[in-house]
Structure 1
Amino acid sequence: MSQEKIKVVINGAEIETEKGAVLIDVCRENGENIPSFCYYKDLEPQASCRMCLVRIDKMPKLQTSCTIKCTDGMVVTTASPEIEKAQRSMGEFLLANHPLDCPVCDRGGECELQEV
């Protein structure tokens, strides 16, 4: 039996998805490149990196897309100067005490953080 289908609007495009789908997954499945360092589909969301911020209409502030479940009629913006500024600030915060040469890290050279 299939899940109930709903419609969300992402950057002006109407998209059909399953009710309760995680917003970051729906965005990525539809070509939106949303950065995230702490989100893994099979684990509970933490929202600790704050890089996956999006604007959702009728919500007072930016939201972490890894913690939001899609609802019918939701209107989402994934890219704007406000979002880019917030992501840049969070990236700077994460990098403040993080070495970029990563000599002892298992992910050295293949780390999403290095791409920021």
Structure 2
Amino acid sequence: MRLEGHTIRLIASHLNCGLATVKRDLDQMLETYGETTDAMTIQYKRVQSARIEELVKGLWAKGKAGQVGAVDRLVKLFERQAKLLGLDQPAKVAPTNPDGTLPYEMTDAELDAEIKRLLSGDT
């Protein structure tokens, strides 16, 4: 019923039980679902990583021999594996002025104007 958008109060009324019971049962269900999803994600990553390793084994000798296509494919496989395993860190971006010499900060007047623009609904 919750997945259909019903409130906890309506579910409790329909099942003739207390709000605390419904909330506890929903929390338990969501925790179990989260654990199951986490376990499935870990398993998927392991399987995909093993598949990539098998492909790397098949291409390694060709790549070491200098075959450009094999080298290119190996690089793509390594990039995919790094993404899959979360090895790539997001790029850090620090906003600066147009010539890159100073950190960018809005003046008070610019900030006030931007707040007014956002509150007015203009985009």
* Range of TM-score over shorter length: under 0.3
Q: Which is higher, the Rg of structure 1 or of structure 2?
A: 2
TM-score of the pair, normalised by structure 1? 0.23
TM-score of the pair, normalised by structure 2? 0.22
| Higher relative contact order, structure no. (Cα contacts within 8 Å, ≥ 6 residues apart) | 1
Give the number of the structure whose residues are more often strand, by fraction.
1
Give the number of the structure whose residues are more often helix, by fraction.
2
